[in-house]
Structure 1
Amino acid sequence: MSRPRGQSGARRGVAVIVSGTLVAQLLVLAAYPILTRVFTAAEFGAYALVYAVANLFFPLAALRVDALVPLPRSEDEAIDLVGFGLRAAAGVGLLGTAVVLLVQAWLFGGGEGSWRWLWAAVPLTALVAAFQVVNAWAIRRGRFGAIARRSVLQAAVMVSIQVAAGLGGAVAGGLLAGLSVAFVVSIVALVVGSGLPREVLTLRRGDLHGRAGAAASLSLAGVLNGAGLQAPVLLVSAFFGLGAAGQFALAQQAIAVPAALVGQAVSQVFLSRLSAHVRETGESGRTIFLAATRPLLLLAVPAGLAALLLAPAVFPIVFGDAWRVSGEMVAALSVSLAAQLVGAPLSQTLIVAGAARTQLAWDASRVVAVVASLVLADLAGASATGAVWCYSLVNAASYVVGWVLAYRASSRTG
């Protein structure tokens, strides 16, 4: 009887997070036809560049403590991990911002284009790290309702500020301001909604409890994983300019809708259920792994086909003719999207199985493959869209390999 109840709880968790994420993504999509008409592709490119840097380095800010929080049997140990992660993120944010501002002023003066806002990557990195740590606590506690409400609130705050800034004549800074304030609000909402003990915020409490080695490995793996995800934005910007990076950023935002609805929701519930199963029974998690794979496959194929066939025609109508290239890039990303919808949520299995080295090796190989695909495409004289096709095919192959590794690791979770 325990298995059906577990499956029912998982379904409810997925349903709650999916509903919140759906509303959040609809809010973001509703704002984009406005944002794409008040911000230029280059301004989107600068915004995407800064956010890519933040997502690349946030694992270092808190040593990927967020990946460790759901694992300990002891609540006190988990709380200590949360406290450590929050203080580490705060320290990196305060010290790092000061250092980067000084260096940027010395090397570039006021800076132009993307350089003007590059300093913002450091506090944004700290905010992303703190958010991930608090969100991990909510996952551990099974507070899926709080996670869903946070998704809606974060989207509403972000797009409200961004639209207001755009209509007021702001440039990329308006996009970054909306994103940053939204993360602050989300962190506060999760602290309240997840029941995080106040002592974590008021006392000097925080200890890795002998998990420093795992934290270091996961941090490096997190940076490599981020490099695999963010390298396309950075390289498209370097090879084809901020305008092309802006087009690619909008394409990624469109792809993020199904990825968030399916991948993020399933991964959080899957991690919570698999971790609890291992803690409480000590048995293999392969049955849970395969049960999660089947519905992901059924969703991935139609999502990929929709992106391939519909995006090139729909994008100029919805976002304006200036964003036609984004629709073509979404079609190129369709293969990567389908593979990501299956592989990304289940990659959490490697963490639960304690296979940090396997995770590190996979992340490292994916970075090399992704970077190589874009560099070779540029050397071959491919267009920005052609380079995205190359990236998409290579990225899809890497997720297939990741699924195989996670499947093998699922038998060792016990």
Structure 2
Amino acid sequence: MSDKVSFMERFTPIKYGIVTWVISKICYFRDNTCERSIQNPAYKGFFSIVSSSVLGQLVVLLATPIVTRLYSPSDYGILSLYGVVVSVTLVFVTLKYELAIPLPKEDEKAINLMALCLLSVFGMSVISSLLIYYIGDSFFSGIQLSLLSPYIWLISLSVLGGGAYSVFNYWAIRDKCYSDIAKTRVNKSIYGSTGKITLGIFNISPLGLMLGEFLGQTTGCLTLLRSFLSRHRQKLSCVSWKMMLSVSREYYRFPLYSCPSVLFNTLAFQMPVLMLIRFYGPDIAGLYSLANSILVIPASLISAAVSQVYLGEIAQFLHKEPTRIKSYYHAVTRKLALISLPTISFIAILAPFCFPLIFGAVWKEAGFYSTVLSGTIIAQLIFSPTSILHYCGRNNWVLLFDISRTILIGGVFLLCAKMGYPPLTSLAAYSITMTLMYAVNYFMNLKAITGLARE
């Protein structure tokens, strides 16, 4: 007994020493993190956007079980088709010049880029609306675009509002006004969800879903517009036709390469909706839409915020410290992986059991869709926010990658449909294809960043 007491007496100082060391390290990490959060604008922006994203997505999550009981899977399918048309049209309305807004050192150039984008948004939205109205039904009859015929007017307004929002959002990134971006996330979620529920109660479907989306988008645009005018109203006098022409020539690579590459990128993401409506009908497309959105929500709370802050920091590194880009790229990618892997995997396992309980029995099959889609969602949330091929001057690489991915995805769905496979099998094949393409994109970014550091 005395030996045991003697041992405990000897071990006690060591034990207290270990505990003291651990506590000191925890306190150091806490204090160091808080200090960096206070002093570093990137940390401030990150936490500002994350907190608002959490609140905004919480609103969406709480509203979704109500919305799914007010609207049918077919209504969701028509909403998905509406989203396809709007997102594809939005690719052209700015000619992707908004991607260049954070790049110029001089505010005068950036202001003229923004003016060029807004002018393009107005003109192209009018042209695209006329094209959709006159030739849309005949050109896209194979994918049942006629389902949207009563809502052409809303598509036009959504394109106008969405294009303006994208322009002002990139200016907010340039200014590192992350709190303003944060406000738009909350406002979009609150007004969008409220609109869908209110119109659904009055049985205005599927128009209620589309009007809710439009209401949220418009609210976010007005928030960023007020923020811009409060800071830069006096600088609008520097806008001129000559300067707009000059910046359009200087950043010609964006409409030349980025515009078509973003088009194919958008088509790659929207291809499941188009193919599912074409081969399986709007009900299946609606089930896919819910499954995909529920998977994206949790991890995107962080990844979307990281993307906003990440692009702002990368733009600074390009001018001052290009050698730091590679380590920053690796660090952000690792953090996104640590967040996305456990979060999406957990949801994918529970989805088949929880979907009918939360969203209603009619949505049961969407839970199985979530499981097979989890692989591509994980890869998307890790590698998509960190891709900077545009900023590395590799716009042509992006174009080639997006064309290849779009063709592969379309081919996968077409082959599965021709062989008579059910929607679940088609989505599993799609998920595998997308995951492999994201791995290719990762190595393309590494090669581009390495070449940038050598220049």
Same fold (TM over 0.5): yes
CA contact (8 A) 1:65 1:81 kept: yes
In structure 2, the partner of 1:130 is 164
For the residue of structure 2 that corresponds to 1:171, the secondary structure is coil
1:77 aligns with 2:117: no
Equivalent runs, 1:175-190 vs 2, <5 Å: 175-190=209-224
Q: Using the alignment, how far apart are the partners of 1:384 and 1:201 within structure 2?
A: 52
| CA-CA distance at 1:117 after TM superposition | 2.9
Q: Using the alignment, how far apart are the partners of 1:104 and 1:296 within structure 2?
A: 40
| CA-CA distance at 1:136 after TM superposition | 0.5
Deviations 1:21-56 (A, max 9, x none): 111111112111111111111111111101112112
Q: Using the alignment, how far apart are the partners of 1:106 and 1:394 within structure 2?
A: 31
In structure 1, the partner of 2:180 is 146
What letter corresponds to residue 233 of structure 2 in structure 1?
A: R
Q: Using the alignment, how far apart are the partners of 2:360 and 2:129 within structure 1?
A: 36
**Residue in structure 1 matching 2:122, options 90, 109, 113:** 90
Q: Using the alignment, how far apart are the partners of 1:268 and 1:41 within structure 2?
A: 32
| CA-CA distance at 1:89 after TM superposition | 0.9
Q: Using the alignment, how far apart are the partners of 2:80 and 2:447 within structure 1?
A: 36
**Residue in structure 2 matching 1:326, options 350, 357, 366:** 366
What letter corresponds to residue 339 of structure 2 in structure 1?
A: L
1:266 aligns with 2:306: yes
In structure 1, the partner of 2:409 is 370
| CA-CA distance at 1:119 after TM superposition | 5.5
Aligned residues between the structures: 409
Equivalent runs, 1:96-245 vs 2, <5 Å: 96-103=128-135, 113-118=147-152, 120-194=154-228, 195=230, 197-198=232-233, 206-207=244-245, 208-245=248-285
For the residue of structure 1 that corresponds to 2:451, the secondary structure is coil
CA contact (8 A) 1:93 1:126 kept: yes
In structure 2, the partner of 1:303 is 343
Alpha-carbon RMSD across the aligned residues, in angstroms, is 2.5
| CA-CA distance at 1:371 after TM superposition | 1.2
Runs of at least 5 residues in structure 1 that lack an aligned partner in the other structure: none
TM-score (norm 1): 0.92
For the residue of structure 2 that corresponds to 1:382, the secondary structure is coil
Higher mean C-alpha deviation, range 197-206 or range 319-328: 197-206
Change (3 A) 1:62 1:408: same
Q: Using the alignment, how far apart are the partners of 1:200 and 1:227 within structure 2?
A: 37
Q: Name the larger-Rg structure.
A: 2
Change (3 A) 1:201 1:394: farther
Higher mean C-alpha deviation, range 56-65 or range 96-105: 96-105
Deviations 1:241-296 (A, max 9, x none): 00111111111211220353132111111110011111233445111111111111
| CA-CA distance at 1:96 after TM superposition | 2.8
TM-score (norm 2): 0.84
In structure 1, the partner of 2:436 is 397
**Residue in structure 1 matching 2:377, options 337, 340, 353:** 337
1:39 aligns with 2:71: yes
Change (3 A) 1:404 1:258: farther
| CA-CA distance at 1:222 after TM superposition | 0.7
Deviations 1:349-399 (A, max 9, x none): 211111101111111111112112211221221211221111111111111
Q: Using the alignment, how far apart are the partners of 1:30 and 1:204 within structure 2?
A: 47
What letter corresponds to residue 266 of structure 1 in structure 2?
A: V
Equivalent runs, 1:279-298 vs 2, <5 Å: 279-298=319-338
In structure 2, the partner of 1:63 is 95
CA contact (8 A) 1:284 1:410 kept: no
Task: Extract structure 1 runs of 4+ deviating beyond 4 A.
Answer: 4-8, 102-108, 199-205
Change (3 A) 1:75 1:391: same
CA contact (8 A) 1:285 1:411 kept: no
Q: Using the alignment, how far apart are the partners of 2:109 and 2:298 within structure 1?
A: 35
CA contact (8 A) 1:247 1:323 kept: yes
CA contact (8 A) 2:36 2:43 kept: no
What letter corresponds to residue 414 of structure 2 in structure 1?
A: V
In structure 1, the partner of 2:3 is none
Deviations 1:314-341 (A, max 9, x none): 1101000100111111111110111111
Q: Using the alignment, how far apart are the partners of 2:315 and 2:409 within structure 1?
A: 31
Change (3 A) 1:200 1:175: farther
In structure 2, the partner of 1:406 is 445
Change (3 A) 1:297 1:282: closer
What letter corresponds to residue 207 of structure 2 in structure 1?
A: G
Change (3 A) 1:219 1:397: same
Change (3 A) 1:339 1:112: closer
Change (3 A) 1:337 1:64: same
| CA-CA distance at 1:204 after TM superposition | 5.9
What letter corresponds to residue 329 of structure 1 in structure 2?
A: Y
1:359 aligns with 2:398: yes
1:382 aligns with 2:414: no
Q: Using the alignment, how far apart are the partners of 2:253 and 2:89 within structure 1?
A: 18
